[in-house]
Structure 1
Amino acid sequence: MKYKVLLIDDEPSAIEGMQLWIDWEELGFELCGTCGNGREGLRLMKLLEPDLVITDVNMPLMNGLEMIEAWQEQEAGRPKFVILSGYSEFEYARTAISYGISHYLLKPVFPEEAAEELREIHQELEQEANRRMIHEIASEEEAVALIRGLLYGKKADPELQELLDRLPGFQGVGIWNLCLIQTVPELYAELRGRAAALLAAYPAMVMMDLEAGILGIVYGMPADRPEGGTIEEGLNILRQEYGSGQIYMAIGAPEDSLPGIAESYRSAKEALQHFFYNPEYAGILAYRGIQGHSFSYHYDHIRLMDALLDSVNLLDADSYRRALEEADRSFRAQQVAPEVVRKIVIHLMYRITELAPGAEDGGGEQGAAGSGIAEIQQAMIPLDELLSRLLLCGEMAIDLLMREQNQKSHGIVQEINEYISAHFQESLSIQKLAEVFFLHPVYLGQLLIKKNGMTFNEQLHQLRIQEAAVLLRGSKLKLSEIAERVGYVNYGQFLKRFEKEMHMGPNEYRHAKF
């Protein structure tokens, strides 16, 4: 099934780029319209009824978040929104989360990066379409749908309270809360079934599948019962049973009415994010335990990217590892928001694979399992593991580039030496040699040392002084003329180098008897 997409951006080049470089049809989408501001976007959403809206944040007349807010105040359901933003605009993520938006694309948009995000969105749209096909007959199923709407900011429906009044166990509820459970995809179905079995005896509870493979459990308790009753006991059993697996459980802040459950959802999501830096938290992480520990949405990604990409270009694995260690320390010290770190890492992996195609998957099945970009986008991966995958990607890139350089260098040193011998009288430098032979200057310098046993400069001076010695013995040229002829612009440098190589001055050498 194909889904309609509306593109909103005040930069025509950005719209044109997304139209041209993204294969919408192959990804299961069709473009239904474009516009350049939020006001026009509201009009086109009503007219075209898109399934997906990709919108920039900063636009004239009405920005992207204002448009979404205005739309959600008057409409329900479709479309799904994707936010376009730069690194400096991640503060907008706080507002976007409250609207139920979990998809972002960084500018500039890379086609491969966008394709991965769109595949995930297409899958979500398919799942949502399938869910809409199933007619919810039972009162409990209807309640789940209405409560899910509350989580995403919809206003309380009067029908919801009528449904809850008819369900056994929901009468007398005075406190509401929510637990979020996230695990690896292969465990999700099994864990969901086990959670349903463990909590079946607890009546005031509904379970639902949320975005990004998260299981949501909304539950109520009588106002006079202290928090931490039966349902938390069941959740602790679940946590113990899956203790060896990758499972994260977070509880939000309690609310005294069900219409306020969206705030519990927000706070539970915030608590869940703290597993990013502390994946070994024991038991269940409650919002009250991390309240006041906020994340930073600003980070100097340029310095990190330059350090890592320079290390790859220079084939310096040690420098690459040190840069990642420094990134680990700075991420933790600044408590950078997990979604910011994740986007930076994915962006870096795309840049590294541009330098060394194949580094993302290591050229084989084993590498793909260890460092796949798609898996990073789909799973909640702690910082340690995320940086380990970035380390693997960089090390593989450096290894691939070194092998490529070694293949190119096979037999090329002779050509380089011949070129130096033919051009040593000229203004020759390692940079010029690198341009002639299409090699990185640092790598070229290291290659010459390895093969010739001396640096490029030593080799150059040796050839020049040898030629000067021949001219001194076989011509009547002035010393300054000889210096210039063999490549020295500075006569003083010629004298200094000659004495160092020949252990006597050029005039003494000319008249010496051997």
Structure 2
Amino acid sequence: MIRNMYKVLLVDDEMIIRQGLRVLIDWRSLGLEIIGEAENGESALKLIQECKPHILITDVKMPKMSGLELIKKITEMGLNIKTIIISGYNDFAYVKEALKYGVYDYILKPIRESDIVSILKDVVRDIDHTIIRSINSNESEKLMKDNLFNRLINNSITIIEFLEKARFLNISVSDKPYRVTTVEIDGSSDLDGEELEYRRFSINNICEELLEKYSNIITFHDRSNRQVIITNDNEIDKNCIKLVAAEIRDCVKKFLDFSVTIGIGSSVGSIMEISKSYSESVKALKEKFLCGKGSIIFYENIQNKHPDESGISIPDSEKIRHSVMLLNKESSIGEIKKYFETIKEKGFGKTSIIQGCVDLFFILFSVVKEYGNKSIDAFPNEEEVLGTISSSETIEEIEETIIGFTVRIIDYLSSIREDKHERISDKVVKYIRENYSKNVTLKSVAKHFYLNPAYLGRIFKEETGELFSDFVNRVRVEEAGKLLVTSDCKIYEVAHKCGYKDIDYFRSTFKKVTGITPAEFIKRRKQA
């Protein structure tokens, strides 16, 4: 993933020096971020391999591995890191030794802010120029552009520096009014790094393709993986940007099969006021909680709203509880839906809504507790459900969670009362066979059935005699075998259709289950 700031590693055996450097300098205003600290060269080397910093600021005399030894190691490894040495020893021979290994600069303790800031500005400028000179590609320019505009929207760059870097990157800037539109991937917190990067890349391509007919459009990613679009209000007014936003949303849904929510800030007079419009677009995105995923939200339409955070009472809580105790599924769901309709209509804020839903959950959980500890073990614990409610992106997701939990309670209590408890594993087996091509994990299946993952894993093993993961792999391999002999799909295509993203993992799993590789399987079937 492309980083928007140049990364700095601080190395000194004195904690007070490291802490002093953190507070002495306004790192963000220089386009820098501290990604780690180490108290000696040995620890620093591990961090360098993991975090790959652009800049190293290190003391010279430290235990285990000195600053000079660290610099030698970096040079031997061929790492391109700008190094600044800090020392209390004004020893020119020592400096000469360090310079042989490409040290960028040298500064004496006590450190003066003006000295190190001046050096850091030179380092940042050198890195900027080095990236353009040494990697003549769109990626290098994108890194610099993302860095520049992230500093702009976060109001951490002066107009002089911004205009200078904009000229360097051939970015046209005018005094015309601008507006910021921010595109957020719905459910991004549940995605792994590879999938998130794929979606970012795909959205960026769609945005650039749809916006290429306009001039002076700026697109980049902010530090929260959102696509940011800066438009000229004279060319794309409020009505036009609404149409463009709808086109972006619809294309993402149609071609990529996931949803995005779009927040749009108000128009500002100049490029240097962009941070205001950006901040408004992000505030607009927060209204997703009530507006729902896939919404297009203008800040002007929500800026005068004052949500009620005084708290939500549940006057019909006994009615909900009574319906659940009677095992009346239809009545219970109806009462819960009425509850959610009420809180939507009354304009409560997100904090109050979440607290109200937590209270409702405890009412439902109290019914389960009346059936003893064994019953409680069959459900997600309180902490898990509360986490699900708090992390929900929309009120609809919370409503779905509460209704699902209620249905699960009623089904479970019905099975106890009738003394003919249906095996959980039968439902899970059916679900896996119907969804094996998707991202089926113990956690996701437990969530689907409103069960605790550890409990589900234990019950599944007890009732089937097979580990959950082994069963999933067996089903996938069985389906893959059918496809390999009945279709013209390539092996990697079959792997993808059966839920495997990694072709090597598919091959090894296939061989583990069948005793032969997919290629050998095809060959034997053709010979048979």
- TM-score bracket relative to the smaller structure: 0.3 to 0.5
Larger Rg computed on CA atoms: 1
Q: What is the TM-score of this pair, normalised by structure 1? A: 0.43
